[in-house]
Amino acid sequence: MAVSAASAGGSVSGGGGCGPAACAMATAQSSAWSDLRPELLDIVLHRLHSLADRIRFRAVCRPWRHIALAQPLPPLMPWLALGNGDFLIIPDGEIHRMDVPDNACCHGSCDNWLFVVHDNGLCSLMNPFTKASVQLPSLPKVAPHNELLSDAKFHMTVVPPASLNSPSDLLAAVLIRDFRDTLFSFCQPLINSGSFNGCRQGMLISGIAFCHGKLYVANPDFMLYKFDLAVSSGGNRYSSMKKMTLLREELQIWPQDIPLSKEDYHIIRRYLVECDGRLLLVRRRMQIRPFAKCDDLLETACTCWFDVFEADFTVQPCQWRRLNTLGRRALFIGKYCSKSVSSEECEEVKEDSIYFMCDYVKSDQSVDPLRDSGVFNMKTGAITPLLSRTNAALPRHFGRWCLSWFFPSEAR
C-alpha cells in the first residue's frame, strides 16, 4: 500500500468555484486523513514493507508522522548492494540509489553499516541513511592498495557488533586472505585511532562470525576455531586461537541422494552465521561444467543444494550437528555478510529458507548480478528466484563494490 503526500493533502475543486458547501466538503475531506483512528493507521503502517512507502506515510500529515515515529516497526527486507553502489530491493526488484562516496568501495556490511575502503587507503563504517561515519584505522600494509580494491586475491570481512556506543566494543574484525595464510585484524576505533591490531595464521579461512560475544572462524575442512580476545593496557586487543572441533572427513563427501552428472564437477562454499544464539555452518554445493567455453569455470557454476550444521558446545571437542529445519527463521548468506532473520518479525521473509547470491565472481566481471542467486527451501530442497518480479533494470557490471547483503534500519 503506497500513500503519497500529494494525494492525501490535495484539495477538492468544483466546476463553478468554491462556495460555502464546497469549501466545507473540501475541509472535511482533507481533514479526514488526520482524523483516522490511530489503531487503523497502526494496521496500515505495519503492512508497509517498503521504505519508500513508510516515508510517504510520514509525509501525509503531522499526526501520521507522530504515529509512525512513536513505535517500532517490523524490520525491512534486506537489500542487495550491487557492484556500482546501487541497492536492489528484495523481492520487488526496485533500485535505490544512496548518497555514498564516489572515491570508495564497499567491502561488506553489518546491519545498516557499510564497511568502506577509500581510494587513499582509509577505512570507515558508514550509515548511508544518517550519514554517520566511524573512522577506522588503516589496513595493514600487506599488499598494494589497488590489489585490495580489486578483490583479486584478498577476502575481507567486517563483523562489527550491534552497538556502536560503547568504547569497549570490538567494532571490526577484518581478514585478508591470500594463497598462503590469513591476517586477522581488530580495532576499537573509539579508543585507538592508530592501526589494526592483528595476528597472522598459516591457514585458510572460509567463514567468520560473532556468537555470544566470541569470535569464531572455520577453515575449508570444517574445523572450528575460537579467538580468545583480551584488552591490553593500551586499549588494543590481542588474540589467540583455540581449535574447537576435529576433522570431519564425512562432511566433504558428496551425498548420494543429490544427482551429479558425470560430466560435471562440484565445489563447496562455506559460511558461518549466528542464528538466534546458535552458531551455524552452511555448506553450499555447486556444480560446474569443466568443458564450457569460458575463461572462468565459475561462470558456469550453479548452486544445487545446501546443508546446515549447528555447533554443539555441550560436548568436548565441539561437534557439528546437522539441522533439518531453521524453524521460523531464514538465513541470508554471502561472502561479505551473513545474517539470520525472523519471519515472525519480517513478514516478507520466507521461513525455513536460505537466501543466496552469486558472491564468488571477481568484482571486475560483467555478469548478471542475479546469476546463481535464489531462495533455497529447507523442507523441499526447491530453489526459487530471488525476485518476485524481474522488471528492474539491473546493471550488468559489478563495478568496484563487492556484492553484499545490506540490512537497512528505519530511516527517521
Q: Give the mean pLDDT of 191-204.
A: 65
Q: Which residue has the higher pLDDT, 74 or 154?
A: 74
Q: Give the mean pLDDT of 192-219.
A: 76
For the chain, what are the domain ranges? 5-10+23-69, 79-406
DSSP assignment, residue 250?
G
Q: Give the mean pLDDT of 198-227.
A: 83
- Report the alpha-carbon distance of residue 98 to residue 85 in Å, rounded: 8
pLDDT given for residue 24 in this prediction: 45
Per-residue pLDDT band for 180 (boundaries 50, 70, 90) equals low
pLDDT given for residue 214 in this prediction: 82
Model pTM?
0.81
- Report the alpha-carbon distance of residue 406 to residue 63 in Å, rounded: 31
Per-residue pLDDT band for 153 (boundaries 50, 70, 90) equals very low
pLDDT given for residue 127 in this prediction: 83
Q: Give the mean pLDDT of 377-387.
A: 92
Neighbouring residues of 393: CB distance < 8 A, sequence distance ≥ 6: 95
Q: Which of 85-94, 223-232, 307-316 has the highest mean pLDDT?
A: 307-316
Nearest to residue 268, comparing CAs of 290, 254, 286?
A: 286
Give the range among 42-46, 107-111, 155-159, 368-372 with minimum mean pLDDT. Answer: 155-159
Q: Which residues of 341-379 are buried (b: 16+ CB within 10 A; e: fewer)?
A: bbbeebebbbbbbbbbbbbbbebeeebebbebbbbbbbe
Q: Given the C-alpha cell 556500482, which residue does it identify?
A: 84
- Report the alpha-carbon distance of residue 334 to residue 320 in Å, rounded: 21
> What are the Cα distances from residue 139, in Å, to 25, 136, 181, 193?
65, 9, 16, 12
Q: Which residue has the higher pLDDT, 191 or 332?
A: 332
Are the beta carbons of 210 and 236 closer than 8 angstroms?
no
Instruction: Enter the CATH code of domain 79-406.
Output: 2.120.10
> With 90 as the cut, is the pLDDT of residue 157 above it?
no
pLDDT given for residue 355 in this prediction: 97
Q: Give the mean pLDDT of 265-271.
A: 86
> With 50 as the cut, is the pLDDT of residue 302 above it?
yes
Q: Which residue has the higher pLDDT, 132 or 366?
A: 132
Give the range among 176-180, 202-206, 221-225 with minimum mean pLDDT. Answer: 176-180
DSSP assignment, residue 60?
S
| Mean of pLDDT over the chain | 74
Q: Give the mean pLDDT of 174-193.
A: 67
Neighbouring residues of 140: CB distance < 8 A, sequence distance ≥ 6: 176, 183, 185, 195, 196, 198
> With 50 as the cut, is the pLDDT of residue 279 above it?
yes
